[in-house]
Amino acid sequence: MFEARLLRSSILKKVLEAIKDLLTQATFDCDDNGIQLQAMDNSHVSLVSLTLRADGFDKYRCDRNISLGMNLSSMSKILKCAGDKDTVTMKAQDNADTVTFVFESPNQEKVSDYEMKLMNLDLEHLGVRFSASGDIGSANIALAQTASVDKEEEAVVIEMEEPVTLTFACQYLNYFTKATSLSPQVQLSMSADVPLVVEYRIPDIGHIRYYLAPKIDDDDN
């Protein structure tokens, strides 16, 4: 049996908001260590990687490895039925074809459960080195290092080993900002000819990473 309980449903709701514009469906891989998700968007330009550690849940049980294929739009609609302060529990039996969401209000006055059909999705664990071309948009952004500020989360810290210039589709960068509600800070990692990594660390439970392929200039062809 699989069972994972979060004291605040808002965490799971924010995770769904952060990925549902990029993914329509995804497989949540559950084992003793926690829950992981890895999936590419339909255009194969960006990749989403999510990790929720077992020790970050109020209760976590996974008797055997299980993969839960879910329609993210349906999952998001179910989670909207929960209040932000409600406790949420995900449950699934071994070899089950459904997953159950149980919502409990803080004062236990209301308990509701919703059952959702699971999907059989092709599992494809991918590496992150890839490239693609596109014509969605581009931008020039300048950031100056400002480590000495009153609030640590407002600091801009830049570590550079060598100069790098890359072009990315603005539309995807905008999608990634949906995760800002999960973390006060974001880390960007760039290197020549490999994807941009945008990481948001979710306090006490895990992280979400986005990988975005740089656009290929015509001069490189």
pLDDT for 194:
80
pLDDT for 192:
81
pLDDT at 126 over 80: no
Residues 15 and 87 in one domain: yes
Q: For residue 216, how many other CB atoms are within 10 A of its CB?
A: 14
Buried b (16+ CB within 10 A) or exposed e, 109-139: eeeeebebebeeeeeeeeeeebeeebeeeee
pLDDT for 102:
96
Q: What percent of the chain has pLDDT over 70?
A: 79
pLDDT at 94 over 60: yes
Average pLDDT over residues 69-73: 94
pLDDT for 132:
37
Last residue of a domain, one of 117, 139, 160: 117
pLDDT for 9:
94
Within-domain flag for 125 = no
CATH code of the domain covering residue 62: 3.70.10.10
- Please state the domain count of the chain: 2
More confident residue, 138 or 59: 59
pLDDT for 79:
95
The pLDDT confidence band at residue 218, using thresholds 50, 70 and 90, is: low
Closest Cα partner for 76 from 37, 124, 24, 134? Answer: 24
Q: Look up residue 40 and give its two tokens.
A: 């590419």
CATH code of the domain covering residue 156: 3.10.150.10
The predicted-structure confidence for 13-43, as pLDDT tens digits, reads as follows: 999 999 999 999 999 999 999 999 999 998 8
The predicted-structure confidence for 137-185, as pLDDT tens digits, reads as follows: 444 444 455 554 455 555 555 565 667 777 888 899 999 999 999 998 9
Within-domain flag for 96 = yes
Put simply, whether the predicted model's pTM sits higher than 0.85 gets the answer: no
Within-domain flag for 17 = yes
Average pLDDT over residues 206-221: 80
Backbone angles phi, psi at 135, to 5 degrees: -135, 40
More confident residue, 3 or 168: 3
Within-domain flag for 134 = no
Within-domain flag for 130 = no
Domain hosting 72: range is: 2-117
Give start and end residues of each alpha helix (H) in 121-169: none
pLDDT at 210 over 90: yes
For the chain, the average pLDDT equals 84
pLDDT for 129:
42
Within-domain flag for 214 = yes
pLDDT for 163:
72
Average pLDDT over residues 127-138: 41
Within-domain flag for 105 = yes
More confident residue, 54 or 170: 54
Average pLDDT over residues 104-126: 84
Amino acid at 39: A
